A and B are shown apart, each in its own frame.
Chain A
Amino acid sequence: MLKCTFCGRRAAYNRRYAGVLLCDRCLIKSVEKRFRRAIAEHKLLLPGERVAVAVSGGKDSVAAMHLLVEYCRLKNCELVTITIDEGIKGYRDQSIGVARDNAKSLGIEHFVVSFKRIFGATLDQMARRARARKTELNPCTYCGVMRRSLLNQAARELEADKLVTAHNLDDEVQAIMLNYVRADFSRLHRLGPAYSPREGFVPRIKPLREIPEKEVALYALLRGLEVHLAVCPYVGGIHTEIRDFLNLLEANHPNSKFMILRMFDRLKPQLARIVPEFEMRRCKSCGEPTSAIICKSCELLKGLGLRRLRKTLISPKSS
């Protein structure tokens, strides 16, 4: 039996990038400490703020919700949860129940916003339409753009000061690499612990950004949290290839993910000089903030022969 470097109990995790073994209790304490440190270091939350957290029901968002509850209690912040139901049969329908149960057990208000209600089609239906129209766009494109837009709008309607997303170290490093591969300076520049653009956007924060995916999973499992661990049926393509490459790199060379993150964080201030400023407008179709005449969500909907059905997301029925 291998023992925890700090307390001598049975080890549950080998933190190879730091050369230490952690037992269940020390791993939980360490994750909580890193979460609090990220908030303090980057001033992600201020006392008394109203905080919306995006919760899918997966391990990361459920862990974030539980970590935030304790933090918000101490800092007198108010917490609400938002779940986007993209309409993925056999996947999202199961995770929504997990999100709802967690919110209920913690006594947090929970709002569900569905693609079907707002856009008139589920993601499954959009994927079928995209295939029929040979658009060459994969479902992750529709899901990512529309989910982000709905989350921002829902958080704004709920008068949240901050929107928390549960992106972990792996998510962030994958996004960095993906934007390198695509030479997308604009998206690369938006990455970081906090993204505070302009009017119409609720500042997005990522307090799990420096916690590896495996440690977030262990935190949820060791605390016995109810989480949904199924794999999204649309997973694939370049995202998966980058994820697998990074996991192989980390397995063979521990600390690689942190090094990529640190390198990016040091380079980021220089990116501001090469990313052009853009004028913020209102989408002519839905009124949401955008740099173009119509926003990306409306543009994608139009390409599928769809249009937005509702301008307002949060109704009394949503919670």
Chain B
Amino acid sequence: MTHIKVTVKHVGKKHKREFRLGPHATIADLLKELGHNRETIVVRRNGKIVVEEECLADGDLIEILPIVTGG
């Protein structure tokens, strides 16, 4: 497989987006592409909170939960 396809959902927003990434892409790579700072979000991969260094797999659902609410 040359590329993987993942679905990204921002918690609190309705729409989902699909992304195509390289075969060894991590969640951190995806966050970089989306312009998110890891300090300000929590990531759920297929419903589980995971570390950003996990490699993505084809068909993953990635939910991004913003945690910085003040300031």
What residues of chain A have their CB less than 8 Å away from a CB belonging to chain B? 1-2, 10-14, 21, 24, 58-59, 170-171, 174, 213-214, 217-218, 221-222, 229-232, 235, 239-240, 242-244, 247-248, 250-251
Query: Which listed segment binds A: B1-9, B16-24, B44-52?
Result: B44-52
Count residues on chain B whose CB falls below 8 Å from chain A CBs.
21
Task: Give Cα A229 to B40, complex, Å.
Answer: 12
Q: Work out how many contacts link A and B, with CB atoms closer than 8 A.
A: 75
**What are 20 A-B pairs with beta-carbon distances under 8 A?**
A2-B53, A10-B48, A11-B51, A12-B50, A14-B51, A24-B49, A174-B71, A213-B39, A213-B67, A214-B39, A222-B49, A229-B69, A231-B66, A231-B68, A232-B70, A240-B71, A243-B71, A247-B37, A251-B37, A251-B38
Task: Give Cα A2 to B70, complex, Å.
Answer: 31
Contact of A229 among B39, B50, B65 (CB under 8 A): B65
From residue B48, how far is it (CB to closest CB) to chain A in Å? Answer: 7
Since A214-B39, A230-B12, A243-B68 are in contact, a sample of 20 more A-B pairs with Cβ atoms closer than 8 Å, ordered by chain A residue number, is A2-B50, A2-B53, A2-B54, A10-B48, A11-B51, A14-B52, A58-B70, A213-B67, A217-B67, A218-B49, A221-B49, A221-B65, A229-B67, A229-B69, A232-B69, A232-B70, A239-B71, A242-B71, A243-B71, A251-B39
What residues of chain B have their CB less than 8 Å away from a CB belonging to chain A? 11-12, 37-40, 42, 48-54, 65-71
List the 3 closest pairs (A to B, CB-CB), nearest first: A217-B67, A243-B71, A247-B39
- Chain B interface mostly: loop
From residue A85, how far is it (CB to closest CB) to chain B in Å? Answer: 16
Please give, as numbers and ranges, the residues of chain B lying within 8 Å of A1 by CB-CB distance: 54
Evaluate contact between B69 and A230: CB separation under 8 angstroms. Answer: yes
Given contacts A217-B42, A247-B37, A251-B39, whether A13 and B71 have CB atoms under 8 Å apart is no
Evaluate contact between A218 and B37: CB separation under 8 angstroms. Answer: no
